[in-house]
Structure formats: structure tokens, C-alpha cells
Amino acid sequence: MYMLYCQQQQQQQQQQQQQQQQQQQQQQQQQQQQQQQQQQQQQQQQQQQQQQQQQQQQQQQQQQQQQQQQQQQQQQQQQQHQCVFVPNMSISIDI
């Protein structure tokens, strides 16, 4: 039973990784919307520069999320080593 308990913990971590990937996709969609705004506002050059700075900040956030995913994969490997088979039943032998 103890080995099954370790496997359940690993599955929970994998679900967290999928959630982070979805967040990255949302940020990419925001970048596309900003590019469309730049095409519409060709007359106002100062506003375009401000929008470009915002895009750079979003790219940095994506890199941080990728680093968090790598850390979670390392934790999964450590848990596999920590799993120790512990028998629940004690066997008594009558002589």
C-alpha cells in the first residue's frame, strides 16, 4: 500500500505541470493582441514604444515558468528513491 501512495503523489505533480503550460499559452495570445494594436496605432510612435516594453516583461515571465517545470521533474525523481517498501503485516511463526 505504501508504494501506491508514492505513485499518487507523482500524478498530482504532473497535473500541476500541465496547468503551467496552459498559462504560457495565454501569455502568447496576449502578445499577439499587442502586435495588432501596434499596427492600428502607426500615427502615435510614443505609445508603440511603451507596448514593446510590456512584451519584453511577458517573455521574462515565460522563462521563469519553464524553470519551475524543471524543478518539479527533479522532485519526482527524488520521490521515487524515497519510496521504501514497508510491510504492514507482521508474521508470527508458532513453533
- Check residue 17 and give its pLDDT: 53
How many beta carbons lie within 10 A of that of residue 24, not counting itself? 13
Nearest of 79, 67, 61 to residue 13 by alpha carbon: 79
Q: Which three cell numbers stand for residue 65?
A: 515558468
87 contacts 3 by C-beta, under 8 angstroms: no
| Residuewise pLDDT in 10s, the chain (95 residues) | 445 445 555 555 555 555 555 555 555 555 555 555 555 555 555 555 555 555 555 555 555 555 555 555 554 444 444 555 556 656 667 76
pTM greater than the 0.85 cutoff: no
- Check residue 81 and give its pLDDT: 47
34 contacts 51 by C-beta, under 8 angstroms: yes
- Check residue 1 and give its pLDDT: 47
83 contacts 2 by C-beta, under 8 angstroms: yes
